[in-house]
Amino acid sequence: MKREELKELGLTDEQLGSVMAMHGSDVNGLKEKVNNLEGERDGLQTQLDTVSGQLDTIKKDHKGDEDLKAQIEQLQSKNKEDAEQYQSDLAKTKIDYQTDMALTKAGAKNVKAVKALLDSETIQLDKDGNLTGLDEQLESVKKDNDFLFEQKAEPSSNHIQITPLGNPGTGASSEESLTQKIAERMSADK
């Protein structure tokens, strides 16, 4: 969906903005799911490759039951560590993505610049997968660095004040007033 196509349908700029915002939220949700699924797939493929390689090594090196048990225990502990690292990496990816989306939604002009001002260690995911620790920091950054964010126009600032020509208190136009001043100067110079 492109803005030009919607504009050709006769939508106003305000309607275009609303439609594009709704479309963007749908697309971003799908992108997040795709990123998560790709991350999970890649992590599981890595684990599968690692375990398969380890089992092949055990088959080649098998010398006795005690030796085999020790290798299996060692591999089990390593696989557990790898699984924990994978979960940590996946959570970090989710946090980064959701933080970027929240900053974009908040009107950040440059997401990287705003992200540099945040303490990423305090931003976490709760049990429902929502960010915690970002809102307070974002408000503080907005307060101290408002130039990094798009300014929303307030409805009252769209009023245009029209003033009549000339000095409003005298009823004379600026041309008469200017003409009179020139005439007075010329008569004073003679």
* pLDDT mean over 176-181: 75
Q: In degrees to the nearest 10, what's the CA dihedral of 30, 35, 41, 44?
A: -130
Tokens of 86: 């994978």
CB contact set of 38 (below 8 Å; sequence gap of 6+): none
Over the stretch 24-49, which tens digit does the pLDDT of each residue have? 877 887 888 888 888 888 888 888 88
Q: Give tens-digit pLDDT for 123-138.
A: 998 888 888 999 999 9
Integer Cα distance of 178 and 167 in angstroms: 11
Residue type, 56: D
User: DSSP letter at 154?
Assistant: P
pLDDT, tens digit, 9 for 90 and up, residues 8-17: 888 888 888 8
Confidence of residue 116 (pLDDT cuts 50, 70, 90): very high
- pTM beyond 0.85: the answer is no
Report helix, strand or coil for 47.
Answer: helix
Alpha-carbon distance of 188 to 114, in angstroms, equals 64
